[in-house]
Amino acid sequence: MLRVLAVDDEEPALGELLYLLRSDPRVRSAEGATDATEALRRIGRALDAGPDGDDAIDVVFLDIHMAGLTGLDVAKLLAGFARPPAIVFVTAHEGFAVQAFDLKAVDYVLKPVRRERLAEAVRRAGDQVLAAHAPPSTTADQIPVELGGVTRFVPIGDIAYVEAQGDYARLHTDEGSHLVRIPLSTLEERWAARGFVRIHRSHLVALGRIDELRLDGGATTVRVGRAELAVSRRHARQLRELLMRHARG
């Protein structure tokens, strides 16, 4: 159940957004703010209270064009906090999507807001909040993935390698693959302690799943199951050293 703050300086638009949010059974509460300053004050109280406090906010639905600070400005400020709320942009302008996702937005919804589209944004936000606040045993050992509208948890130990696909990452297991909305660089940082290494700008590999390292005419590749993956020149030396250490261990 999500605790939501919606921010829009146009009161009719804010009222409609709040009506739709409050109609969603996954939303526990939805409050509104008509400018960025008010929104930041409420978010500040929420962060001070912590995730279990009465003022807690899980998701912020942000308009972009507002008087004073814009929604993008608010998102930049929130990025400096250790555990900021998830952000969904709701705007009439298509041209800011790249900036929005650079700021780790969960979704980018265009006005006029359709109920079905907003429901999808709520679902995505809920998945992110669940992953961020789940017990350590869940977040440490598994990753949530979406399959036909159902969220399931894939053990990280089942993942052989990860492939970058824009702002998404495709997780490859022995049984198939799963697409998640997490950049490869984020997974590289999170899973370094689990033995995942970057071998190319497009691939992250579980060290223990590498079956073979090949050097052929200056080019380096690794075989992971049935997949053969290129190793970039800048990563080749470090990978060889890591494989040697892994073999000795």
pLDDT, one tens digit per residue, over 94-140 is 888 888 888 888 899 999 999 999 999 999 888 888 766 654 444 45
**What 3-state class would DSSP assign to 61?**
strand
Q: Give yes or no for a contact between 51 and 83, defined as CB atoms under 8 angstroms apart.
A: yes
**What 3-state class would DSSP assign to 132?**
helix
pLDDT digit string, tens, across residues 153-167:
889 999 999 999 988
Q: Residue 2: is it exposed, middle or buried by C-beta count within 10 angstroms (0-12/13-18/19+)?
A: buried
The kind and range of the H/E element at 41 are: helix 36-49
pLDDT digit string, tens, across residues 209-226:
999 999 888 899 999 999
Q: Cα dist. 161→67, 151, 231, 245 in Å?
A: 45, 21, 13, 19
Whole-model pTM: value is 0.56
